[in-house]
Each structure stands twice: as C-alpha cells, then as structure tokens.
C-alpha cells in the first residue's frame, strides 16, 4: 500500500526557511508525480508544486521565487523548502502522489502543521 508521511519542524521563525520531508513507502518516487499542498487556517487549500518521476519540477507562480522541491531517490523521499517565510505561511502541509498525466492526487499524507512565529 502506498503511504506518505510528512516530517519537519512544527515551528519556524519569520524570515527563515521551512523544510519538510515526505517519506514514501509502497511505491517508488521514480514513477508518477509527487506534490506539496497546504491548507491555511480557514481551510483554503493551495497547491504548492510537484516533482516528477524524472526530477523535473513545477511550482505555483505565487510561490515561484521562494519554493524548491527536491528528492532523494535512494531514500524514496522528497522535500519541500520554502524560503523567507512569514506568518502567512502558517498552515498544515501535505505531501501527495499525483496521478501520472492527470495531476489529481490519489494518495496523501496526514499532514504536518507548521506555525511561523517568533
């Protein structure tokens, strides 16, 4: 069974970088697409970006200057880095598997809550 698990610090200071890891079991990240989505307080969901089976990336233009998604295929993990965070980046962050060629998400992690505060 495909399982995803997010991990990382729950508290980040403003202006610092947010770094999260998504560990995948039951499926290789060298297939399909692997995305990050976040849900803000108030329930608005935002797609942040993804990394493909080949390592190519696509990002939400609203974040393009601050976001980086990378991967370690040997560990079957992919990563989110979001730079220069503000309190507006406080959210629950999810990783998810994207359906090949279709870009909806068929498996999700449970999410990790990240608070940006000094």
Partner 1 sequence: VQMTQSPSYLAASPGESVSISCKASKSISNNLAWYQEKPGKANKLLIHSGSTLQSGTPSRFSGSGSGTDFTLTIRSLESEDFAVYYCQQYNEYPLTFGSGTKLEIK
Residues with Cβ within 8 Å of residue 46, at least 6 apart in sequence: 37, 38, 39, 40, 60, 62, 91
Q: Which secondary structure element, helix H or strand E, spans residue 98, and what is its range?
A: strand 91-98
Task: Rule CB under 8 A: say whether 13 interacts with partner 1.
Answer: no
Q: Which of 58, 49, 47, 52 has its CA nearest to residue 99?
A: 52
x/- binding map, residues 30-69, to partner 1, per CB under 8 A? -------x-----xxxxx----------x-xxx-------
Q: Of the candidates 36, 91, 107, 112, which one interacts with partner 1 according to CB under 8 A?
A: 107
Stretch that binds partner 1, among 12-20, 67-75, 81-89, 94-102 (CB under 8 A): 94-102
Write out the two tokens for 97: 């598997």
The least distance separating partner 1 from the CB of residue 118, rounded to whole angstroms, comes to 29
114 close to 14: Cβ distance less than 8 angstroms: no
Q: Is 106 in the site for partner 1 (CB under 8 A)?
A: yes
Q: Footprint of partner 1 on this chain (CB under 8 A)?
A: 4, 37, 43-47, 58, 60-62, 94, 96, 99, 102-111
């Amino acid at each position: 069974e495909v399982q995803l698990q997010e991990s990382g610090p729950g508290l980040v200071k403003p202006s610092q970088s947010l770094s999260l890891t998504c560990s995948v079991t039951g499926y290789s990240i060298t297939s399909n697409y692997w995305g990050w989505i976040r849900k803000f307080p108030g329930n608005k969901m935002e797609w942040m970006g993804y990394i493909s089976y080949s390592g190519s990336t696509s990002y939400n233009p609203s974040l393009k200057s601050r976001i980086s998604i990378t991967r370690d295929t040997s560990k079957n993990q992919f990563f989110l880095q979001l730079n220069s965070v503000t309190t507006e980046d406080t959210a629950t962050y999810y990783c998810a598997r994207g359906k090949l060629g279709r870009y909806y998400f068929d498996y999700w992690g449970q999410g990790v809550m990240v608070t940006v505060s000094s």
